[in-house]
Amino acid sequence: MNNILELRSDSFRTLMAYFRCAIMEIETKFNVLNEEFSLQHDRNPIADIKSRLKSVESIEDKLTRKNLPVTCEAIEKNLNDVAGIRVICTFIDDVYMLADALLSQDDITLIQKKDYIENPKPNGYRSLHLIVEVPIFLAEEKRFMRVEIQLRTIAMDFWASLEHQLNYKKNITNAEMIQNELKHCAEVNAELDRRMSEIKRNIAGMQ
Amino acid sequence: MNNILELRSDSFRTLMAYFRCAIMEIETKFNVLNEEFSLQHDRNPIADIKSRLKSVESIEDKLTRKNLPVTCEAIEKNLNDVAGIRVICTFIDDVYMLADALLSQDDITLIQKKDYIENPKPNGYRSLHLIVEVPIFLAEEKRFMRVEIQLRTIAMDFWASLEHQLNYKKNITNAEMIQNELKHCAEVNAELDRRMSEIKRNIAGMQ
Amino acid sequence: MNNILELRSDSFRTLMAYFRCAIMEIETKFNVLNEEFSLQHDRNPIADIKSRLKSVESIEDKLTRKNLPVTCEAIEKNLNDVAGIRVICTFIDDVYMLADALLSQDDITLIQKKDYIENPKPNGYRSLHLIVEVPIFLAEEKRFMRVEIQLRTIAMDFWASLEHQLNYKKNITNAEMIQNELKHCAEVNAELDRRMSEIKRNIAGMQ
Amino acid sequence: MNNILELRSDSFRTLMAYFRCAIMEIETKFNVLNEEFSLQHDRNPIADIKSRLKSVESIEDKLTRKNLPVTCEAIEKNLNDVAGIRVICTFIDDVYMLADALLSQDDITLIQKKDYIENPKPNGYRSLHLIVEVPIFLAEEKRFMRVEIQLRTIAMDFWASLEHQLNYKKNITNAEMIQNELKHCAEVNAELDRRMSEIKRNIAGMQ
């Protein structure tokens, strides 16, 4: 009970502010890479960047499900997705190019990498997930914060947003049929992503 | 010659400012519709809005190609796409819903409508194009300005941006092969748009 | 009690969305005027535009204080400041020029005008307050919504934000001294606004 | 002549992109400090951040005036203000607090500091100017770029923008009188800044 109260405390508000700062730092890193790449290739690899901070309710739920105390310490130690950034790329190649460039930076530490593009989830979900640690520069100290980064193409993102809507519905009359149909769309999507990338490479190859 | 000079004049700068204002008015109209729709359906029909003002060079080129004098009067009378807005929708249904809602407003006059979704261009291009007249409220007067609106899905937009890159390449070694491949992708894209819309309708039908 | 529940209802959420739309419409009107004016005078009359929607708590408080039922109907009929816009101008002249240009538009109805620049509040507060009605264009209807507009100079805004901080403090040891000091600053501020406007007019008068 | 051509080259465009990235990095640093400070003091020390990249014309002019070759190398070695950021603070104390916090960060190198608040320019101009070096993280390397930072209060900024307008006027009929009047306003402004800071400290001192 007094655990839950901790999520209304000053130290919780401070921690959330730090996560917001971590999001800003990672966003800037991607904006810099986008700027550099645009210059070299005359097109933007990044179509959009979205970020979100996990809500107090979701944090509470997740800690409780994991049988962890609802404290700031438990959050920092155990939750990797309080700060989340989604980078929507134009092509599959851009996803890997951006991930590699970010991970090669000397102030970034990779904590975890899951490649759901190589190995899609059973429902058809594709994306590249990274968990990294990034320094934020506060007035008096440099602090390392964790951020979850999801990199995906426009097509993957569109698919994921539709799949997400399905998950929020309760009455599941013909859910299985819809799931099958969604999975089929995921496969057509993946095929399309590959063909569009191929076309892009052919176009880039021209003088 | 003194025609071209006119595009550096104060009256040209004023005209461009009016077109910028017309873009703001139309953007606000779509933002209002997005707000209203989000409320009713718990999702945003508009994924993104982009706008652009035709460059001085493009205006000059177009007038010259049409054998028209390079004057402000000629621009207002003959060019419908100086102010351009692109509305990227999540689903095909959203495209038509938004277009209908805009066109039913009593201060909007439809000048032209071309439905390249029903009837794609030979290369595979799909989008709904509208040319409308919208009032802008200046300090001393109300003025009617033309704006070109392109409504399309995320999938159509991605396809169009790749096709656009191809058009800017000069050396066309295997251009025909790429064009065929692009056209094929356009068809798969259209099929995917239809299936995703169908899934969305099935999900929305659930309680 | 079920009154208060109404502020969690769908119709309340809809009403708030309409107020958000009214804010967008008024903001666009000021952006258009700023664009037009910038062109004529080579400087922006508007330094900043801020907007806010009254919080559920403040709405509840205000209705209760006024002995009104906590219902959507009561909100629309009685509260004029649910949608609020603050327009920060560079000079005093800009405040009046913008207000006049807005009020002369044929789709804007003036409900109330309070000129706290001519007649500052006893504490020294200066601003021009307007309450207007503006149409918003929904999918099926045109609806008229009220918006409170505060126009002020940069100097007035800075003063007001400091005064606002004072009001939120409870322990008022030397409050009277601070209030006197603030009032004195308000007067120096007003004098400075007048002199800076005078300088601006002298500069503008040059060729 | 071919010097001037260099400012249309790819390497010039790349250099400008790097300066844009440096601006992003510094802006993020100030946004992080603003976030942290807001948390501690319940108010934002930063009212606004503006940034600009020096135009090609101004770069050319400045190099020529300094008798330097118009090359990318000369730009990087000699011009400290290609990338410029202006941080508008609410109070004078915030100016120094933010400058100190930035300069204490281990990836920032101070190149030059000029305190025109302590020692205003003869015309009355006040601001704190810093030139710093900041690393930008590119795909393949970490690069150090120079940025000019101007920190000032809202009142200083307003004054400076008016003074700037005067400098762009050619016909200087009563220029001296205006300059005297401006200088007088600068002094009243400075006095006002001190008094408002004092009030803020008194308010903050309350419980």
Condensed to tens digits (0 to 9), the pLDDT of residues C169-207 reads 766 677 788 889 999 999 999 999 999 999 988 887 764
Cβ(D95)–Cβ(D117) below 8 Å: yes
CA-based nearest residue in chain A for residue D25: A28
Q: Which residue of C has its CA nearest to D43?
A: C165
Q: Which residues of B touch A173 (CB under 8 A)?
A: 206
**In this structure, what token pair is assigned to residue A22?**
């971590």
Chains A and C touch (3+ CB pairs under 8 A): no
CB atoms within 10 A of CB B92: 22
State the pairing for strand pair C83-89/C142-153: parallel
Neighbours of chain C (3+ CB pairs under 8 A): B, D
Is it the case that residue B174 has pLDDT exceeding 90? Answer: no
> How far apart are alpha carbons D120 and B94 in whole angstroms?
59
Residues of A classed as catalytic:
148
Task: Look at A202 and B178 and tell me if their CB atoms are within 8 Å.
Answer: yes
Considering chain D, what is the average pLDDT of its residues? 91
How many CB contacts within 8 angstroms connect chain C with chain D?
A: 90
Burial grade of D177 (CB within 10 A; 0-12, 13-18, 19 or more): exposed
Min Cα–Cα distance to chain C from B125, Å: 28
Residues in C touching D171 (Cβ below 8 Å): 206-207
Question: Between chains, do B37 and C142 touch, taking CB under 8 Å as contact?
Answer: no
Flag if C39 and B13 touch (Cβ within 8 Å): yes
Q: Among the options B27, B148, B181, B191, which is catalytic?
A: B148
| Count of A-D CB contacts under 8 Å | 77
Q: Which of B12, B16, B21 to mutate to test the interface with C (most CBs of C within 10 A)?
A: B21
Residue A131, pLDDT above cutoff 90? yes
B44 contacts in A (CB within 8 Å)?
none
Q: Which residues of chain C have pLDDT under 50?
A: 1, 207
Chain C neighbors of D192, CB-CB under 8 A: 185, 188-189, 192
CA end-to-end distance (rounded Å), chain A: 67
What's the helix, strand, coil split of chain A in %, to 5? 55, 20, 25
Nearest to A189 among B170, B192, B198 (CB): B192
Q: What integer pLDDT is reported at residue D72 of this predicted model?
A: 93
pLDDT digits 0-9 by tens, B78-96: 999 999 999 999 999 999 9
Does B148 participate in catalysis according to the annotation? yes
Name the residue among A20, A21, A32 with its Cβ closest to that of D137: A32
Pairing of strands A128-137, A46-53: unpaired
Closest by CA position to D145, among listed D86, D204, D62, D76: D76
Share of chain A above pLDDT 90, in %: 77
Q: Is A60 helix (H, G, I), strand (E, B) or coil?
A: helix
Its pTM stands at: 0.91
What sign for the dihedral angle of Cα D186, D190, D195, D196? positive
Cβ pair C191:D188 closer than 8 A:
yes
Select the residue of C158, C196, C202 nearest D185 (Cβ to Cβ).
C196
Kindly state the percentage of chain B with pLDDT values over 90: 77
Q: Where are the domains of chain B?
A: 3-159
Q: How far is D153 from chain A (nearest CA, A)?
A: 20
For residues A28-41, give the mean pLDDT: 93
Place of tokens 């930008």: D136
Nearest-by-CA chain B residue for A188: B192
Q: Compute the half-sphere exposure of residue C124: CA atoms within 13 Å on the CB side of its CA.
A: 24
| Average pLDDT of span B120-140 | 96
- Which chain C residue has its CA at the smallest distance from D165's CA? C203
Q: Do A43 and B165 touch (CB under 8 A)?
A: yes
Burial class (CB in 10 A: 0-12, 13-18, 19+), D17: buried
Q: Tell me the ipTM for this assembly.
A: 0.89
Q: What's the rounded Cα separation, in Å, for the pair D77 and A77?
A: 45
Taking the CA of residue D89 and the nearest CA in chain C, the distance in Å comes to 11
**Which CATH code, of 3.40.50.10680, 3.40.50.1950, 3.30.460.10, 3.30.420.40, is assigned to D3-159?**
3.30.460.10
Using CB atoms, which residue from A32, A39, A137 is nearest to D29?
A137
Which residues, 6 or more positions from A150, have their beta carbon under 8 angstroms from its beta carbon? A84, A85, A86, A87, A127, A128, A129
- Residues in chain A with CB shorter than 8 Å from the CB of D140 are 101, 104
Find chain A residues with C-beta within 8 A of D28's C-beta: 24-25, 27-28
| Chain D residues near any Cβ of chain C (below 8 Å) | 43, 48, 90, 154-155, 158-159, 161-162, 165-166, 169-174, 177-178, 181-182, 184-185, 188-189, 191-192, 195-196, 198-200, 202-203, 206-207
Map residue C80 onto helix, strand or coil.
coil
Q: Do B28 and C24 touch (CB under 8 A)?
A: yes
Distance (Å, whole) CA A174 – CA A166: 11
Mutate: best of D32, D35, D141, partner A, most A CBs <10 A: D32
Interchain contact, B29 vs C137, CB within 8 Å: yes
Q: Which helix (H) or strand (E) element contains residue D197?
A: helix D175-205
In tens, the pLDDT along D130-139 reads 999 999 999 8
Cα separation values, A174 from B41, B199, B206, Å: 20, 11, 9
Mean pLDDT calculated for residue range A97-117: 97
Burial class from Cβ neighbours inside 10 Å (0-12, 13-18, 19+) for residue C10 reads: exposed
Contact partners, residue D54, CB within 8 Å, separation at least 6: D62, D79, D81, D82, D83, D84
Choose, from C76, C148, C163, C176, the residue flagged as catalytic. Answer: C148
Q: How many CB pairs under 8 A join B and C?
A: 76
CA distance C136 to C23: 9
**The token pair that represents D122 in the structure block:** 């003869």
CB A164 within 8 A of CB B197: no
Task: Give the residue on C whose Cα is nearest the Cα of D197.
Answer: C162
Distance CA D167, CA D190 (A): 21
CA-atom Rg of chain B in angstroms: 19
Which residues in chain C are contacts of B37 at CB distance < 8 A? 139
> What's the CA angle centered on C87, arms C128 and B106, to 5 degrees?
100
Dist. CA D61–CA D199, nearest whole Å: 45
CB contact under 8 A, B185 and A172: no
Cβ-Cβ contacts under 8 Å, C166 against chain D: 199, 203
Q: How far is the CA of D91 from the CAs of B10, B43, C159, D43, D154, in angstroms?
A: 40, 42, 11, 11, 8
- pLDDT under 50: residue ranges of chain D: 1, 207
Q: Which residues of D touch A36 (CB under 8 A)?
A: 17, 21, 138-139
**Mean pLDDT computed over every residue of chain A:** 91
| Predicted pLDDT of residue D43 | 86
Q: How many Å apart are CA D62 and CA D85, to the nearest integer?
A: 19
Q: How many CB atoms lie within 10 A of CB B161?
A: 14
Please check whether residue D146 is in contact with residue D78, taking contact to mean a CB–CB distance below 8 angstroms. Answer: no
Cβ contacts of C142 on chain B, cutoff 8 Å: 105-106
Burial C89-104 (b: 16+ CB within 10 A, else e): bbbbebbebbbebbee
Whole-number pLDDT of residue A207:
46
Name the neighbours of A, counting chains with at least 3 Cβ pairs within 8 A: B, D
Q: What pLDDT sits at residue B1?
A: 42
In the prediction, which pLDDT does B32 show? 96
Burial of C2 (0-12, 13-18, 19+ CB in 10 A): exposed
B84 vs chain A: nearest CA distance in angstroms?
A: 20
